Chain A
Amino acid sequence: MITSRRILGLAALAALLPGFALAQQTQAPPAWAQGRPPEMANSRLAPHPPRLTVTPPERVPVASLRLPEGFQAELWAHGLPGARVMVRGPGGTIFVGTRVIGRVYAVRDTGSERQVSILLQGLTQPSGLAIRDGALYVAAINRILRIDNVEQNLANPQPVELTAAFGLPEDVHHGWKHIQFGPDGRLYVPVGVPCNICETDGERYALIASFNPDGSDRRIEARGVRNSVGFDFHPRTGQLWFTNHGRDWAGNDNPSDTLHVNLRRGEHHGFPWCAGGFQDPAVPRDRLCSEFPPPALILGPHVAPIGTHFYTGTAFPERYRNALFIANRGSWNRERLSGFNVVVVREVEGGRLIQEEFLSGLRDDANQRFLGRPAGLLTMPDGALLVSDEENGAIYRITYRGR
């Protein structure tokens, strides 16, 4: 446990900052105010409102998308407000998770068109989906469900309740999750911190854990992870690569969001003391950045990486094979917008990682507004890459046709 000053009311918080707020007890100030320096007390920055209504296809900004030479984008599916993560069932159904609108969609490709239906609704932020043996696993904030033979039961899914077996915290803040099966057949489930910056029980929060598919045998895979909502396993090494969101209210350019490779089980990645080389001034210097493995890559301030996905197809040119694509949903806690794009992370000489912008055009720098928010990524059997746009409830299909 770290020692810290205990700050009870918001008024006290304003007087004492920079300080460090305790969050595991209920007296904590709201996440919105934690770690906020006095000079930012009256900042007007606030999260962007979610769009929960259908965007008609002619309003989906597919024509604005920019890709490297030889690539093209088409509107593959629309009418799925809040579309985020995408997974593919063995029968070819694409399942799509959401947050605020509480739905899980099923998309069937009839060849000429995509049919969208609502598989589940009324859930609290079902943003985590995973497929195994024909069953769909759904992670909402307060529940884990499994639907066996889901593609045979699209019209009448019968969820099996696994919530108690997994026994996860129910905190709403940063409680929305990404889930995925590892090459070891275990289900990987992150638990973010229920705050912006706080002291938490590091065995329960700020981690990525793995479980047997039935929720038994919990094991901590990574510690000190503030909020990861995207990860994947390297196609060759099987290593866990995850992205992480840096905290808010530490300035326009601090800290950066990061990409990490979990080299050892249980490894500590720095929260709350250190984020991507940034020693957090609001946290007592009990531990230093030098004590933690550095991130594999600094992604940029407030870009908000969501989809974190190795491209496993062969239809894209050689340099993209097994490369990591990251969908950046984009910033709110920054005066000038950042993110709202898809980047690709590649290994160059000496094993060094670099990132290049892959999909852009959704961030309008001149007018400081955005047209869409990339969220989920999925390689299709034909080597196309699907990209979901949460803002427009749409899915783009990216293909390569050569120069």
Chain B
Amino acid sequence: MAARIVLAAALLAAAFSFPAAANPAAEALIAERQCVACHGPAGVSAVPLTPSLAGQQADFLALQMILFREGLRQVPAMAEPVRGLTDQQILDIAGWFAAQPSAPKPDRGPRDEALARRGAELSAARNCNACHLTDYAGRANVPRINHQREDYLVHSLTQYRDNLRVGADTQMNGLMHGLSNADIRAIAHYLAHRD
């Protein structure tokens, strides 16, 4: 826990806004750290339990990478990829993934009407769209939750419910309280099958 890192001036020098699409520095880092091996080319994941990052909110991506780097969100698979990244590198990478096109997942499987309806009811009852917005595309630190892998949605919602994941704020933990595994499956199915 105890550590002393003198913050380098170089780290402070560069501009801090999220750079948009074409960014050679970001592309080099993403290649070097093999993000796409797990998260998919252009950030559309084909790997179970690994989230798509394409078109995700840049603020959210940067926050999560910082939480991984600081050891505050502990996921073994993500420990190495973010090790030693500077703030600017994180902003570069976040900007790149955020700028990749987001679309419904091509391999999401058929829609189960009854399950999706149940998920829609639960989402409406808990006002999911108040923060994630009506189309569930998110904003700033509130992530996009449409176009996501269904299995990852189940996983992340379960983690919030069981207090195994606490984000930059605790809203999701409280919101998931009292939902059953079946409820979570329904919500995930509904979200993953939205356009």
Contacts and interface: CB of A to CB of B under 8 A. Distances in A.
A46 B1 contact: no
B22 interface: no
B141 interface: yes
B7 A120 contact: no
Most chain A CB inside 10 Å of its own CB: which residue of B3, B14, B131, B171: B3
Interface string A3-36: 0000001110010000000000011111111000
Contacts of B15: 56, 59
Interface in B111-147: 125-127, 130-131, 133, 140-142
A173 B71 CA distance: 21
A159 B12 contact: no
Contact of B178 (A9, A49, A155): A9
B169 interface: yes
Interface stretch (B26-34, B37-45, B62-70): B62-70
A296 interface: no
* Of B2, B16, B141, B169, most A-chain CB atoms within 10 Å: B2
A290 interface: no
Interface stretch (A37-45, A338-346, A363-371): A37-45
B47 interface: no
B177 A30 contact: yes
A117 B6 contact: yes
B127 A49 contact: no
Contact of A79 (B12, B140, B170, B173): B12
B35 interface: no
B11 interface: yes
A59 B16 contact: yes
A337 to B, nearest CB: 16
Given A42-B127, A46-B130, A59-B16, A32 B175 contact: yes
B174 A31 contact: yes
A380 interface: no
Nearest to A50: B168
B151 interface: no
B125 A49 contact: no
- Classify chain B's interface size: 35 or more
A231 to B, nearest CB: 24
A52 interface: yes
A30 B70 contact: no
B59 A49 contact: yes
Interface centre among A27, A30, A57 (most CB of B within 10 A): A30
B5 A41 contact: no
Given A116-B7, A121-B1, A121-B70, A27 B12 contact: no
Interface string B139-179: 01110000000000000000000000010111101110110
Nearest to A49: B141
A315 interface: no
A47 interface: yes
Contacts of A115: 6
A14 B7 contact: no
A154 interface: yes
A110 interface: no
B94 to A, nearest CB: 10
Contacts of B88: 53
A11 B12 CA distance: 47
A41 B70 CA distance: 35
Given A32-B175, A43-B130, A120-B1, A102 B62 contact: no
B120 to A, nearest CB: 14
Nearest to A44: B130
A159 B63 CA distance: 27
B87 A53 contact: yes
Interface in A241-298: none
A81 to B, nearest CB: 8
A220 interface: no
A155 B6 CA distance: 10
Contacts of A52: 62-63, 66, 168
B4 A49 contact: no
A87 B63 CA distance: 27
Given A26-B177, A32-B171, A54 B12 contact: yes
B30 to A, nearest CB: 18
A52 B13 CA distance: 16
B72 interface: yes
A124 B166 CA distance: 10
A43 B3 CA distance: 42
B190 to A, nearest CB: 16
B17 to A, nearest CB: 9
B3 A121 contact: yes
Shortest beta-carbon contacts, A-B, top 3: A30-B174, A49-B141, A53-B87
19 contacts: A9-B178, A29-B174, A30-B174, A30-B177, A31-B170, A33-B175, A42-B130, A46-B131, A56-B14, A57-B12, A100-B168, A118-B3, A120-B3, A121-B2, A121-B71, A122-B1, A157-B2, A159-B1, A159-B2
Interface of B: 1-7, 11-16, 59, 62-63, 66, 70-72, 87-88, 90-91, 125-127, 130-131, 133, 140-142, 166, 168-171, 173-175, 177-178
Given A53-B91, A103-B70, A159-B1, 12 more contacts: A27-B177, A32-B174, A33-B174, A41-B127, A44-B130, A50-B63, A53-B88, A56-B15, A56-B16, A115-B6, A121-B1, A122-B72
